Amino acid sequence: MGERFVVVPVDAGVGVAVEGEYSDGVVSDPAPDPGGGGSRSSGGTVEGKEAGEDSVFDPQDPNAVVPILEYNREPNKYGDGVPKENSPFINNTDNDKGNSYDGTNMALFEEEMDSNPMVSSLLNKLANYTNLTQGAQEHEEADDDEGPKKKAVKSPQMGTFMGVYLPCLQNILGVILFLRLTWIVGTAGILESLAIVCLCCSCTMLTAISMSAIATNGVVPAGGSYYMISRSLGPEFGGAVGLCFYLGTTFAGSMYILGTIEILLTYIVPKAAIFVAEKKEDEVEALLNNMRVYGTCCLALMSIVVFVGVKYVNKLALVFLACVILSILSIYAGVIKTIFEPPDFPVCMLGNRTLQNHNFDSCLKTEVIDNLTVTTKLWQLFCKGPELNATCNDYFDNNNLTLMQGIPGLKSRVISDNMWSEYGPIGMKVESNKLDSDPVGDTSQDIYMPYVVNDIATFFTLLVGIYFPSVTGIMAGSNRSGDLRDAQKSIPIGTILAIATTSFIYVTCVVLFGACIEGVLLRDKFGDSVKGNLVIGTLSWPSPWVIVIGSFFSCCGAGLQSLTGAPRLLQAIARDGIVPFLQVFGHGKANGEPTWALLLTAGICEIGILIASLDAVAPILSMFFLMCYLFVNLACALQTLLRTPNWRPRFKYYHWALSFLGMSLCLSLMFICSWYYAIVAMVIASCIYKYIEYRGAEKEWGDGIRGLSLNAARFALIRLEEAPPHTKNWRPQVLVLLNVDSDQGVKHPRLLSLTTQLKAGKGLTIVGNVLEGTYLTKDAEAKKAEQNIKSAMSAERTKGFCHVVVSSNLRDGFSHLIQSAGLGGMKHNTVLMAWPGTWRQSNDPQSWKNFIETVRETTAAHHALLVAKNVDSFPTNQDRLGEGTIDVWWVVHDGGMLMLLPFLLRQHKVWRKCKMRIFTVAQMDDNSIQMKKDLQMFLYHLRLDAEVEVVEMHDNDISAFTYEKTLVMEQRSQMLKQMQLSRTEREREAQLIHDRNTASHAAINDKADTGPERVHMTWTKDKLFTERNRNREMNANVAVRDLFNMKPEWESLNQSNVRRMHTAVKMNEMVVNKSQGAHLVLLNMPGPPKNRGGDENYMEFLEVLLEGLNRVLLVRGGGREVITIYS
C-alpha cells in the first residue's frame, strides 16, 4: 500500500524518536500549542487548527513545535461514477498537488513533486483503483461531500463462470432457438441451415477473438463494447457505433417482448386474444394487432420493473437462465426418448397438403356412429353443409385424408427428406413430397380452407437475417467488465467458451430437428397442425409445457436485460459528451439509474412492437449488431497493423487477418440479410459520424483512427519528399504571417478570410506569428496568442495549423518561420502577409525593414509572395460580392501566379459572381493587336475565361511631378539617415520640406505661365490627381525642358530612382484609370533593390504604385511555373 504522511506537532522537549522506535502505529495528536504549532496534513485536513492556517516552523524559536511525519495507511480513494480518460493513478488530484515533501532522502526531486508523484503514491492509487459499474454505485459527487463518511467501494468478486460465461449463455440462447429454429431447419433444409449457423457463429467467434484482444489491452471500465470501440476508433466511430449498438439492444428488447407475447397468445392462453379473426384471411392481421396491444402493455410493465429496481432484475437473471438450460436439456432428453418411444403428435394431411388441426378431432371425412355414417367437423370446413350430398371443395373430393406421425424419431431416417430446402412465396401451402396428390384447376378458394401456409415469402437471405439475433449477446461479458475480478482473464475465456457452447447447441439442434421431426411439421411455424403446440415443445420430454414455460420466462428475462442494458449504454454515451443533444440522457435518479435514457429506450422499443412481427424486427437488430461487430474487428485489425506502442493485449491468440476476415464476414452478412436495411443502417451511422465530427466535443482518446492518420500522413510525407510536385498538381500552400496586438489579439483577421477564400478548404495552411523575447519569459503569451489565433481561424473557417514562434527579434522569427514551417513534402510554397500601412508614421524604421527583409527571404527561398493592401477592407466569408471584376495587371511573367489566383478565388462563393479581366502593358515597339490575340489564345489553352485588354505605355518624358516626388523622397531619406530625430523633430523637418516644395511649385507655375490653378503641387491625394491630369494635357518635352532650366538641383538626383518613380507614377495612372472600380486588383510586385541603402525608397515606390486603389494584392512569383496548358 502507498504511504501517506501526516504532520503531527510534538513539543520540542519530547525530542525525536530514536531510530528503531518509529513504527506504523498511529501517533496520537497532542493538544495544539497556543503559539500556533498546529499543522496541515497531506490530505488537506488540519490537525489541531482550523483549515486554511499554515504551520510555520522556525528553528530559531526555542518554543517552536517540531513537526514529524505520521505514517498513515489509509488508501487513496478515487471515482466519480463516470468513465474518464484521465488516468486515476497517473494524474495527481488537487490534494496531491498541495502536498509538500519534507524529507531528505529525495530532496533532489522535491521541486518535481507537484507534477511527478512518488512511485509509492502511484502504486497506491493503482492498487486502490476500481472501475465502477455504471448505475450500480451512488453518485460519487454526493459521496465526495460526505468526506470521512464516504464508504469504501467493494471490490468486484465475479469470476469467469458467473460473470461472463453464464450471462453470455443467457443472452445468446433465447427466442429464436425456441420459436424459429425448427421452421428455419424445415424451410432451408439441414445443409443450408448448417451453413447459416456456421456463417453466423463464425462471425461471432471471429468478433469475440478481436474483442478479447481489445478487452485485454488495458483496464476496461464499465461501458463494455461502447468503451472498447470508442477508445479504439475514436469518438466519431465510437459514437456512431455506440448508438447503433444501443439501437440494436433496444430493438432486441422489442424482439424479446414480441416473442413473449407470441408464446403467451399462441401457446399458453390463446383465448386471451382481444382481436379475433372471423375469416381465415384476417388471422394474420388480428394476430399483429394483438401483439401490438399486449406488447405495449408488457413493455410498460417491464419498464416499471426496471425503473423500480435493477437489483431485482439481476437477482432473477439466474432464474431465467435456469429456465433456458432446463428447456435445452428437455430437448435433448426428448430426442433420446424418440429412439425408444416417439411421442404421438399426428399430422392430418389432405392429399399432400397439411391441415390446421384446431377445429376438428378426427382426421376423417365421415365416421360411423351407431351404424350411421355421419360427417365430421373436418367435412364442414370444406363443404357447404353437414349433409353427405353437400357441395364440397374439389380438392377435398379428389384426395384422401392421411394421418402422418409428426415426430417419427431418430430411427425413422426422416433426415434424408429434410436435407434440402423448401422455399416459397407467401401463401404457399406446406406440402409433403411423400404423399400423392390429385391437383385441381381452380385454387381460388384455397385461401379460405384450413391449410397450413407460409405467412411470409421465404428465401435464404431472409432466414440469415432472422437467425442472426440468436448468436448475438457475445458482449454480455464485456458489458459487465466493472463487476469482474479479473476482466482481462475472464472476458476472453468466458466469451469464447460461451460461443463454442452455443454453437455446439445450435449445430446439434439443427441436425437433431432434421433427424427427428417430419418436414411438414418443421415448416409449420406456429404448430397449427399439432393443435397449436409449440413445434419444439412436441419434441421435449417430459412435457411440451417445459419448453413453453421455459421459453416464456427466457424471453421475459432477455427483454428485461435489454431494457436494463440499453439505457446504461445510452447514459455512457451521453456522459462522454461526444453527442451534444444526448447530454440530457446522462442524468438519472440519485443512485445513478438512467431515468431519461429509460424513457427514450421504451419509446424506441415501442416502434419495434408496433411493427409487431418477430420476423420483421429480427433483421433490423441484425443490422445494428453486425455493424457493431464489424467495427470491433476493424478496431483490432487497425491496432494490430499499426503496432502502436500501447497495443499489448494479454490475449495472444489473435491476428489481423482473422479480424479482417471477421469484418468482411460482418459486411457480407449485412447485405445478405437485407441490402436495404444495411444501407439504412450505414446511412444512420454515417450521419451520426458526421454530426459528431462537426458538432461533437473534441476528445483525444489515443484511438486507432488517429494512429492510422499519423501513419498515412508519415507515408504520404515521405512520398511527397521524393520529388517536387508537378505543375499540374501545384496549388498554393500558404504560410500566413499574422501580427497580434499587445493583448495577443489578431490584428488582421481578414487575412484569414482571404486565405479561406483562396484555398477553398484545400491544400496546406500554416498561420505563423512571431513574438519578440525569450521563450522562457514569453511562454504564457505564446500559448495565449496561439489560442487566440486558433479561435480566429475557427471563426473565419480557416482549416490549417497555427505556429507561434518566440524569437529575440521579429526579423529572425519571420526568417525561421519561412525556413522551417511545414514538414517534409508538406511545406509552404506561398507567403501571405499584410502591407505595413503605417510604416511612415512608425517611430521605428525596423517595421518596414522587416517587411523588406521578408520579401528578400521569400524570394531567396523560391516562394511566392502575396501582399494584401488595405486587407481590413477585404470581404468576409459571409459577404457575397455582386457583379464586378477581378483585374489582373500582368506586367512581367511570374510563372502564372497572376492567372491562377483569380481562378482560385472565383471557386469561393464570395467571389463567384466576379469576372476576370487581364491587362497587359505594351511598349512602343510592341504590336498591341497581335499581343491581344496571343494572350486570348493563351487563356483559351489555359481554360480560363477572362476579358483581355492591352494597355499601351508610351515613352513620355519624365514629368516635373515625378522629379519632385523623387526629390522629396531622397531628401527625406537622407535626413533620416543623418539625424536621429525625435518624432516631433521629424514632423517639423518634414513640414519645412513640404513648405519649401510648395514654394518651388509656385515658382515653376509662374514661369510656365499656365494659370494660377497649377500652383497646387503639394503632395496630397487630390493635388496628385490634379497634377496627373495637367501632365496629360501639357506638352511633356517643352515642360520638362523649361523645368530643367528652372530647377538645376534636379540634375543631381539619382537617375535610377527617377526612372523607378516614373514607372510607379505611370503604372499607377493606368491602373487607377482602368481598375479603380474593381473589386480586387492583382499586380506584379517589383523586387526590392539589391543595395539595402535604397530600402526606404523601395517602400516609397510601392506607395506611389498602389495609391488611389482600395483592395490590392501584390503578387511575386516563386520562380517556377504554376499553371500549364497541358492536360
CA–CA separation, 475 vs 109, rounded Å?
A: 46
Placement of cell 472476458 in the chain: 491
Question: In the predicted model, what is the mean pLDDT of the chain?
Answer: 76
Instruction: Quote the pLDDT of residue 987.
Output: 57
Q: Report residue 969's pLDDT band, with 50, 70 and 90 as the boundaries.
A: low
Instruction: Quote the pLDDT of residue 607.
Output: 93
Q: Report residue 514's pLDDT band, with 50, 70 and 90 as the boundaries.
A: very high
Mapping DSSP to helix (H, G, I), strand (E, B) and coil, where does residue 456 land? coil
CA–CA separation, 925 vs 1097, rounded Å?
A: 30
Residue 744: is its pLDDT beyond 80? yes
CA–CA separation, 843 vs 512, rounded Å?
A: 98
Residue 1028: is its pLDDT beyond 90? no
Q: Report residue 1029's pLDDT band, with 50, 70 and 90 as the boundaries.
A: low
Q: Report residue 148's pLDDT band, with 50, 70 and 90 as the boundaries.
A: very low
Task: Give the pLDDT confidence of 769-799 residue by residue, as tens digits.
Answer: 999 889 888 889 999 999 999 999 888 888 8
- What percentage of the chain exceeds 90 in pLDDT? 19
Instruction: Quote the pLDDT of residue 140.
Output: 36
Q: What average pLDDT score do residues 221-229 get?
A: 68
Residue 836: is its pLDDT beyond 90? no
Instruction: Quote the pLDDT of residue 256.
Output: 92
Residue predicted with more confidence, 591 or 812: 812
Q: Which of 272-281, 702-711, 1040-1049 shows the highest mean pLDDT?
A: 272-281
pTM score of the predicted model: 0.67
Residue 930: is its pLDDT beyond 60? yes
Angle at 681 between CA 657 and CA 663, to 5 degrees: 5
Q: What average pLDDT score do residues 138-146 get?
A: 39
Per-residue H/E/C for 591-638:
CCCCHHHHHHHHHHHHHHHHHCCHHHHHHHHHHHHHHHHHHHHHHHHH
Q: What average pLDDT score do residues 982-989 get?
A: 54
Instruction: Quote the pLDDT of residue 635.
Output: 84
For helices 544-576 and 310-340, angle between their N-to-C axes, nearest 10 degrees: 150
What element of type H or E holds 781?
A: helix 775-795
For helices 224-263 and 283-308, angle between their N-to-C axes, nearest 10 degrees: 130
Instruction: Quote the pLDDT of residue 994.
Output: 58
Q: What average pLDDT score do residues 998-1003 get?
A: 50
Instruction: Quote the pLDDT of residue 193.
Output: 95
Instruction: Quote the pLDDT of residue 1043.
Output: 41
Residue 1021: is its pLDDT beyond 70? no
Residue 41: is its pLDDT beyond 50? no
Buried b / exposed e across 298-320, counting CB within 10 Å, b at 16+? bbeebbebbbeebeebeebbeeb
Instruction: Quote the pLDDT of residue 664.
Output: 95
* Order of all β-strands in the sheet with 1112-1116: 801-807, 765-772, 734-737, 830-834, 864-869, 1112-1116, 1080-1084, 884-890, 914-922, 947-952
Instruction: Quote the pLDDT of residue 949.
Output: 87
